[in-house]
Structure 1
Amino acid sequence: MKKILVSSFYKYIYLDNLEEFQKEHLEFCKNLDIKGKILISKEGINGTVSGIKDQIYKYETNLLSHKEFSDLKFKRTLAEIHPFRKTIVRIRNEIVSSGFGISAKNFGKHISPYELNKLYDNKEDFVIVDARNNYESKIGRFKNAVTPDIETFREFKTLVKQLEGFKNKKVVLYCTGGVRCEKASALLINEGFKDVNQVDGGIINYIQQYPGIHFEGRCFVFDDRLSIETGDSKDITICERCHEPCGEYINCFNIRCDKLFVCCRECREKFYSTCSKECRNLVNSI
């Protein structure tokens, strides 16, 4: 069975003729049998798509042929099956919802995974800040990271006061692939932070170059996989059923609940992939 290749990308750039691009791009994806989710807006493009290798390479080549996307960087991971069930190309006000009301043009300096390793290994004075949501950092994060207790990226703006003590320190932001860090770093710079940096290509780029080094646990992803391995075999959280070490998410099998929760494989079988006794009883009664 052929492996599925998953490719993610983004670029902040002014786009016009959005309706025309949406229609043509959706048709192109369907003709290639590409699945995934692509968001477009006047501020750019942000997408993740999946397909077999030849399909993905054709897709990437097509995007690169557009002048405005000629320097796109793609981050690739593998999947056993399509992690997307359909193809979506949507027009949005922002390619990542923030509500910050500022441009992402004045973003923080990009540092490579190698440069991040040097900061850790040389024990330099820096603070690393997770720009993701709390349920993402719960199962995986960089060592010693500040992990904000937020449920959506829009809430990141409320953290500025909490981070004020780091205004004159070297701040390194990270997220899954980089798209949120562009805006988060621009926000901090706008608020007077002096030395704002971001991990180039995010967690995915880092773990592909340095698996199992300074990133602990698993990496949450917004598709049917829910998380991917990072090269670190240690689980940093526990199963919410049996409380044994575990790092994998599932959605409760009771579709009226659909809660996202950490659950080990043994408990999935034992409790029919449900999050509670009530949900299990309801599933059994159907």
Structure 2
Amino acid sequence: MSKEQREAIAALLGQGPQGFEPQPVEQMRENFARMMAQFTVPQVRTTGTELGERPAVLVEPEGEQRPGTILYFHGGSFSLGSPQTAMGLTAGLVTRTGYRALSLDYRLAPEHPFPAAIEDCLAAYRALLDDGASAQSIAFAGDSAGGGLTVTTTLAARKAGLPVPGAIVAFSPGLDHTRTGATMMTKAGIDPFFTPEGMAHTGEMYLAGQNPHQELLAPAVLADLTGFPPLLLQVGTNELLLDDSVRLAQRARDAEVDVILDVTAGVPHVFQAFTGQLDESDQALARAALFLAQRLDA
């Protein structure tokens, strides 16, 4: 990462969160959409569709399309975002792999708290299987909260007796609503996006008073990953959520699951979005694309 790139990203992010002041969720959603609209979106074909009775966006490469499907779950702390806010990442994977993607518009908190998002993601996966796709030809991918959904949806699929997907790619996933990772404190003031107080606020929207000490809310702490597909976890060192990935990777290793913990130094939450601005972003997406090709093509 060049000095010039680091300075440019720092200028874009400003001084980061300066304390925490709660805002109406509608304002948070507008601010998030405005921020994510700044990121580059590669040239792809997009079509509105429906998957599992929820709106979705079909994202296809402009050139030759390879057999295989990426089911993408957007980020936004379970209360913000849409397929459009994650389009740069979704399209980035599509253009690098040649696979189509379906990006799901799952229900958001606080209007629809846990487990609504997981139910929607599971229904979308079931719809793909019912439509004739093989589980091995489907990969789950997502960022932040959506990265967490790649894991919790797989847990829910396994519990429902469905086959697990062929692979999982999670960018800076949120995997622990108990917030017990050491980096929740050691990276406070370093993470340019999040504060512990802000994460507690959005976490309360999603939990709606429910106990976070359960597998689908804290897989980094409680999940049994036996039988999981190969996992790629990408995270930066400047993240409150760093230890979510570190601890899930340990649980995967203990369960004899193929796992790659891909940690990049000095980069922020979901740094993969900064394609064209940060060399590490393009390199990370290239590694994710290779990981998917090696699993789905097989």
Asked if TM exceeds 0.5, the reply is no
Greater relative contact order: 1 or 2 (C-alpha under 8 angstroms, separation 6 or more)? 2
TM-score in terms of structure 2 length: 0.26
More helix by share: 2
More strand by share: 1
